[in-house]
Amino acid sequence: MSSVRWVPIVLGVLIAGAALVAFAVPAAAQDNETCLTCHTAPGMVLTLPSTEVVSVTVDPQRFGASAHGQALTCATCHPKNVDVPHPKVTAKTLKEYQRIAAGVCASCHGDAVDAFAGSVHGRAQRMGFADVPTCVTCHNPHDASRVKTATFRNNLPQLCGTCHADPVIMQKYGLRPVYQTYINEFHGITTTLYKLTKPRDPTPAAICTDCHGGHDIRAASDPASRVHPANVLATCRNCHADAGRFFATAWTEHKTPGPQAAPLVWYVQLFYAFLIPTTVAFLGLLTVLDLGRWATDQIRRAGKS
């Protein structure tokens, strides 16, 4: 009889557990819907004491289709903002705001954050440089694309170019404007063509992260760097498996070819810059002369008849 008495209690516990599981997803969705009631309004910004502004408008469709929107709720990354009005933001500048936001990423992406900390970007961030990228510089948290998609891969050089095509930033840190050089090289041209003609297919050509790494980018002079002279051939062989020992010497290191940098490439470019237009002009001249002779023959024949 005592065992029979426990049956209603056990059934009640099971039913309550099932109800919690059943309503877990709708509750999360409801949380997001509450936040998006305000944050879908266009033009919403947060003005920082530095007078810099942060857009706080969220596109619900893009967020819902993103990696974060499918796995997380707003409160996962913004637990303090469940209270309305929201607590006052402590960041004084945009870069400080981004650093605080990047700290949230570590709760899920610990390995990536640790790798970033040892990179040239992470080291510069610790040194206090204001224009160094953080997590949210490259990954929009409300529109986080999956990094293995063709779209992300084909657009990544342009993402890196946000800084590496900026002459002011490059001059400040003593770096070459490598983005434009990459775009003019075989890998960059191929990637651009895939972006324009086959946007759904990932480019087979090397992009920035294939050679330099993603979160763990190091200076080329660092022995741990993938493009250090001692490692660059092994990096090339990730795509060119049968590359010989002199294969990597063809790499111009993103230098613009000239008498001092990649002189052989420069002389070949000069040769073809002369040969191609000269050949086309010569063939054009032959065509004009041939047409002229043909027209002259036609006029003579017409005159005889």
Answer whether residue 132 is part of any domain. yes
The pLDDT value recorded for residue 18 is 52
Cα distance between residue 52 and residue 73, in whole Å: 27
Q: Which residue, 119, 144, 169, sits at the end of a domain? A: 144
The pLDDT value recorded for residue 102 is 83
> 48 near 91, Cβ under 8 Å?
yes
Answer whether residue 17 is part of any domain. no
Q: Which residue, 144, 160, 187, sits at the end of a domain? A: 144
The pLDDT value recorded for residue 83 is 86
Answer whether residue 39 is part of any domain. yes
The pLDDT value recorded for residue 261 is 80
The pLDDT value recorded for residue 29 is 42
pTM of the model: 0.73
Answer whether residue 213 is part of any domain. no
Largest CA distance in the chain: 130
> 125 near 76, Cβ under 8 Å?
no
| One-character DSSP codes across 169-210 | HHHHTT---HHHHHHHSHHHHHHHHHHHH-TTS--SS--HHH
The pLDDT value recorded for residue 10 is 54
The pLDDT value recorded for residue 238 is 94
The pLDDT value recorded for residue 283 is 96
The pLDDT value recorded for residue 211 is 95
Answer whether residue 251 is part of any domain. no
Structural domains of the chain, count: 2
| One-character DSSP codes across the chain | -HHHHHHHHHHHHHHHHHHHHHHHHHHHHHHHHHHHHHHTSTT-EEE-TTS-EEE----HHHHHHSHHHHH--HHHH-GGGGSSSPPPP---SHHHHHHHHHHHHTTT-HHHHHHHHTSHHHHHHHTT-TT---HHHHS-TTS---TTSHHHHHHHHHHHHHHHT-HHHHHHTT---HHHHHHHSHHHHHHHHHHHH-TTS--SS--HHHHH-STT---TTSTTSTTSTTTHHHHHTTT-TT--TTGGGG--TTPPPSSSSSHHHHHHHHHHHHHHHHHHHHHHHHHHHHHHHHHHHHHHHHHH-
Which residues are bridge partners to 45 per DSSP? Answer: 55
CB atoms within 10 A of CB 206: 21
The pLDDT value recorded for residue 7 is 54
The pLDDT value recorded for residue 9 is 59
Answer whether residue 91 is part of any domain. yes
Regions in the chain scoring below 50 on pLDDT? 1, 20-30
The pLDDT value recorded for residue 225 is 95
**Residue appearing with tokens 């493009």:** 227
Answer whether residue 9 is part of any domain. no
The pLDDT value recorded for residue 13 is 58
Q: Which residue, 87, 115, 144, sits at the end of a domain? A: 144
| Exposed/middle/buried for residue 88 (C-beta within 10 Å: 0-12, 13-18, 19+) | exposed
Domain range for 49 is 31-144
Answer whether residue 45 is part of any domain. yes
